[in-house]
Amino acid sequence: MEATATRHLSLPAAARSASTAWDLLIAVTARDLRVTYQGTFFSYLWWIARPLAMGVVLYFALGRVLRLDVPNYPVFLLSALFPWFWFSGTVQQSAGVLIANAGLLKKVRFPRLILPLSAVFYNTVQFLLALPVLAVFVLIAGIGADVAWVVGIPLLLALQMLLLVGLSMLLAPLSVFVRDLRPALGVVLLLGFYVSPIIYPLERVPDRFKPIVLLNPVAPLLEGWRELFLEGSVPGTELWPAVVFTAVSLALGLAVFRSLEKHFADAL
């Protein structure tokens, strides 16, 4: 009886703790968004301008100059560029989020996990705001909206977001102790852009290199977004490498974060 009573009494406290952590996560994410675009005239449109500008340059260079024969090449590019910028932006921000908030970590007691999660939420919000722009390009190309979007968008959104949560929990603490990690990630992401099927179709990759490309967890996700918007079909078993990598990154990221978080204040 006493154990039962104690268990019931602890539930409201746990609920309040979870609610407080959630509220703090939203507050930190909103703060980052506000600081980023405070005083700018076009606000979040500057985030959309980056993949759009790159899409224009790549379309001109590859679609017009080199004559890469890919149907609906502008939509082909943008349907992978938007998710890629979401991925790369989150990875880069996660690697520096604890260092950027060193003063907060030393002075205030709060769940440290909120900081890498806020990096994921920050970039996810920007991606969600960019999705209508991508949809407009799909409609302009004459492809049209498809009922598969109702299932496909939440599926790919959840999978990529979980992948980023795992990577953020892993990269954020490691960057505190390995200061070379953040600049190294810049090089890795640059290489990752070209070895991922963003500017070229996956079927153009020679068969002997395809297994290597598909080991890249982002590749099946990018192909999934492209398949959804260009063909109106929900990706299926081809997503398994991303699912496996997501599960591994979540488990490893949480374990690394929990083991290192007690040393953040001293390392910073």
Retrieve residue 125's tokens. 């919000």
Query: What was the pLDDT predicted at 115?
Result: 92
pLDDT at residue 8, as a whole number: 34
pTM: 0.86
Question: Looking at residues 141-156, what average pLDDT do you find?
Answer: 90
At residue 42, the pLDDT reads 63
Distance CA 126, CA 129 (A): 5
Q: What share of the chain in percent tops pLDDT 70?
A: 90
CB 139 within 8 Å of CB 74: no
CA 130 – CA 86 distance, rounded (Å): 10
**In the prediction, which pLDDT does 25 show?**
84
pLDDT, tens digit, 9 for 90 and up, residues 89-105 = 999 999 999 998 888 88
Does pLDDT of 62 surpass 50? yes
Tokens of 83: 């998710």
The pLDDT value given to residue 43: 66
* pLDDT of res. 141: 86
pLDDT band with cut points at 50, 70 and 90 for residue 174: very high
Contact between 216 and 239 (Cβ < 8 Å): no
Token digits of residue 49: 């301008």
216, 191 contact by CB (below 8 A): no
Interval 105-142: pLDDT, tens: 888 777 889 999 999 999 999 899 889 989 888 988 88
Asked if residue 98 lies in contact with residue 8, where contact means CB atoms within 8 angstroms, the answer is no
- pLDDT at residue 149 in the model: 92
Residue 7 has pLDDT above 50, yes or no: no
Q: How confident is residue 15, by pLDDT bands cut at 50, 70 and 90? A: very low
Mean pLDDT of all residues in the chain?
Answer: 85
Neighbours of 16 (CB within 10 A): 10
Using an 8 Å Cβ cutoff, are 264 and 98 in contact? yes
- The more confidently predicted of residues 56 and 67 is 56
Q: What percentage of the chain reaches a pLDDT higher than 90?
A: 45
Question: Over the stretch 17-46, which tens digit does the pLDDT of each residue have?
Answer: 556 777 888 888 888 878 777 766 666 677
